[in-house]
Structure 1
Amino acid sequence: MGLTSQTFLLVLVAIAVAVTALVLWLWPRAAKKGPWALASRLGLLVVAQAGILSVLLVAANNEFGFYSTWNELLGRASGKQALQPGTEGGKRPPALVVKGQESVGLGPKEKAGRVDRIEIRGPVSGLSMDGYAYLPPQYFQKGHEKDRFPVIVAITGQPGTSKNLITQIKVPQAASAAVTAKQIRPTIVLMVRPSVVADRDTNCTDVPGGPQALTFFNQDLPVAVNDQYRADNSRGAWGAVGNSTGGYCALKAAMTNPARYGAAAGLSADLFARQDHTTGDLYAGNKQIRNESDLIWRLEHMPPPPASLLLAASRKGEEKYYEPMLKFAGKAKAPTKVDKLVREEGGHNFRTWREEYPAVLRWLDKELIARS
């Protein structure tokens, strides 16, 4: 039973209700004098509180995505990665492998699209990652067999798994609804996590002597998608969007590779690569790499990239993201375009991002068309 599954939460609710009823039934029997009666009452209180607290903690984890699996909760490696050896003098193995389909309740693929479970094997960085790909209904319809589709890379926060984009933020559901309503063009949506290394937050940074995380997003993902899907590879035809650390990754991809990512959106996004015990040393003492990982510094000191950027934050509840967003927008110079999605109130949580995604998908589609 998965840590974030609805079944697990319902089982805990049932246990909490049963325990509470049991405590109420036993309490009169423990309402006596003496040390044993006192110990019994304390025990009943502890059991009742444990049941209720378990429900609250699991519900909070489901809403905010602190841990996605039991392995993450217990501190064990929950992601997998492997170097994929190349072949000498022969054809390299595909960089993207479809492992099956994920049922997300969209309906027939010819009417609503399909979600594939995928594994990406980076031929440049040597890193790998599991994820998902939404394919629009036109991908399977007659008359569109030779069509190529724009791509949006959706990146979840850290810590987190790519499945959060399906179960919590409901990205493929939002994309399918927008395509069906003709609010956006038929688009492939790739859903991944920001970390390319198990149990390490790499902040989409090419670590000197370590994981080449930015290379994975800027070079390996396009290679992988084109190995399997009919993607549009015209200049700036791809978009990126992410929440929290994923938002930083999306903005960074467009700022460092605008020829690929013509537009990007950061929802409650960090604007620099944080270093802490989860990241380790990202820069190896290199001040230039540290500076270039600060997106505001890039706007101040480097040529402005020809990309459209969108930052989203709330005035109340997200001050730590709202104020840097205003500073970032104030530093932008043409040909960089910066738009803002401002909420009066909101939080750093799945609910806020889930509500923002439909508008962000429409914005990405409009900007990608404008830059095509």
Structure 2
Amino acid sequence: MHASTIRIDTLPAVVAGAVLALLCVAAVPWAWDRWRRKVPGRMATTVLAVVAVVAACGLAVNAAGSFYPTLGSLLGTSPNPEEGTVADAGPDGRDLGRTLATAAQRSANGQGSLLHLTVTGARTHLTRDVDVYLPAGYTSPGYAGFRFPAIEWIPHFPGEPRQVATLYGLPDLLDKAIASHRLPPTVVIIADPNGEPRLTHDSECVDAVGGPANDTFLSADLRSWAYRTLRVRTDREGWAIAGWSSGGYCALNLTVRHPQWFAAAVSMSGYDATPRDVETGDLFHGRRDIQHANDVSATLREHPSAVRLLVTADGSAGDERAALERLRAAAAPPVELTTWTLAPAGHNLAAVREELPAVLDWLDTQLGNPVPAGRLPAGQVTAAGVWPLPDVGTPGSLRGEDATP
């Protein structure tokens, strides 16, 4: 049994942790005078009891928020990145042609196909796991020569692409939404925003000062790879980004920083600025210009562009509602901001699964249909919407008004 198969966000795990903590606490007075060497024995049982109580509390908090669904996600291991997918398309999707036979078989039953592959960025040279959802119509003769709208889906920290399938249940929801004509046939690209190891390695999808160019990989590299490899639309109106929690911040930040490439974004229970905590660390190393350039509210206020944003917040989460209010105060035309304050449900995966159908309905209103390759709309943002990005100093990272994917 691998750590990735051990769930730690379930009620049995919480109960087991609580029982173990109670036993450790009870052992302190029970063994107090039974130790042959009293001082080290008493110290050992006391420390063990404290650790057990802290661990039990951590399990309870983790279960409430679904931060680390498995022991593997806590430890940052990914023994099976293909989990939840139906075929492996190889490095940079070089085996995509072979996997399309599997996709065609599933398409006959009205099912889309989630494929696993890796992508190495042409600019950043980062290599990350990527899952790609191809809708049932992708292999249909009726759509031959068509390019499909695309959604880039950003997993939450410490998530990875396979968790969007296995924990969110996104492929099944996409199948149902497309089959019921509540979403156009859409390609969904789910990329790993962090890489390994994940423990204390929350990239927040930014080009870090002195670190990896995650923003450039997720925007320029991934998009240019998709142009070459998949039949996706190349106009900005055909692209959206979505995510939950940290993935929601990523979706907002990438979209407002690169309005020449993305027209819409969804932030489910996200925020508007990067935190500085034990998991994230210091991404900017004193560069306040870089930090400011990754503040979504500041960007909306100072560099408004023709983007359409959906931001949701749990009614009981003060930090989420505060971020939503800052975004409301900053957004002005041509920005279109839609906000939902949801019934209190907590920051957890159950709430995500409950919210996803409505999010897909909103995306349906934002994405166009598949378009014949020769008739793609231009859909470009005005020059005023592209603003100069400060240089983080990482080779290959986007800077200035660089708009080359």
Fold in common (TM above 0.5): yes
What is the match of residue 134 of structure 1? 133
**In 2: Cα distance, 1:68 partner to 1:123 partner:** 33
TM-score normalised by the chain length of structure 2: 0.70
C-alpha deviation, 1:60, in angstroms: 7.9
Q: Which runs of 5+ in 2 are unaligned?
A: 20-33, 35-47, 81-89, 100-104, 370-376, 380-405
2:211 equivalent in structure 1: 210
For the residues of structure 2 that align with 1:60 and 1:197, how far apart are their CA atoms? 24
Secondary structure of the residue aligned to 1:241 is strand
Q: What is aligned with 1:363?
A: 362
Amino acid in the other structure paired with 1:180: A
Report the counterpart of residue 284 of structure 2 in structure 1. Answer: 283
Over aligned residues, Cα RMSD in angstroms? 3.6
Matched, 1:306 2:306: yes
The Cα shift of 1:257 comes to 1.1
Q: Bigger CA drift: 337-346 or 178-187?
A: 337-346
Equivalent residue runs for 1:118-129 within 5 Å: 118-129=117-128
Q: 3-state SS of the aligned residue for 1:132?
A: strand
- Report SS of the residue matched to 2:321: helix
Higher mean displacement: 278-287 or 240-249? 278-287
Partner Cα separation in structure 1 for residue 62 and residue 4 of structure 2: 8
CA distance in 2, matches of 1:94, 1:167: 22
Alignment of 1:227 onto 2:225: no
Q: Deviation per CA, 1:71-107: give whole Å up to 9, x if none.
A: 443x466599xxxxxxxxxxxx974455897xxxxx9
Return the alpha-carbon distance in structure 2 between the equivalents of residues 61 and 181 of structure 1.
35
- Counterpart position of 2:160: 161
Contact 1:197 1:211 in 2 (8 A): no
Q: SS of the counterpart of 1:339?
A: strand
For 1:202-226, what per-residue CA distance to the aligned partner results, in whole angstroms no more than 9, with x for missing partners?
1111112321011011101112222
- Show the 5 A alignment for 1:314-325: 314-315=314-315, 317-325=316-324
**Which SS does the other structure have where 2:146 is aligned?**
coil
- CA 1:147–1:76 in structure 2 vs 1: closer, same or farther (change >3 Å)? closer
Aligned positions of 1:87-166 closer than 5 A: 95-97=92-94, 108-110=106-108, 111-166=110-165
Match in the other structure for 2:240: 239
- Residues 307-330 of structure 1: per-residue CA shift (max 9 Å, x gap): 000101122x22210122022122
| Partner AA of 1:138 in structure 2 | G
What residue is the counterpart of 2:170 in the other structure?
Answer: 171
Contact kept in structure 1, 2:116 and 2:132, CA below 8 Å: yes
Which aligned runs of 4 or more in structure 1 are off by greater than 2 angstroms? Answer: 1-10, 56-73, 75-80, 93-101, 107-110, 196-199, 276-281, 368-372
Range with bigger deviation, 135-144 or 179-188: 135-144
After superposition, the Cα gap between the structure-2 partners of 1:268 and 1:144, relative to the gap in structure 1 and judged at 3 Å, is same
1:136 is displaced (CA, Å) by 0.6
* 8 A Cα contact 1:94 1:224, kept in partner: no
What is the aligned partner in structure 1 of residue 330 from structure 2? 331
What percent identity do the matched residue pairs reach?
A: 28
- For 2:219 and 2:360, the matched residues in 1 are separated by 20
Q: Given that residues 63 and 351 in structure 1 are in contact (C-alpha distance below 8 angstroms), is that contact kept between their aligned partners in structure 2? A: no
- What secondary structure is seen at the aligned counterpart in 1 of 2:248? helix
Amino acid at match of 1:313: A
Matching residue of 1:269: 270
Distance 1:328 1:197 in 2: 32
Q: How many residue pairs were aligned?
A: 322
What is the rounded CA distance, in whole Å, between the counterparts of 2:214 and 2:289 in structure 1? 17
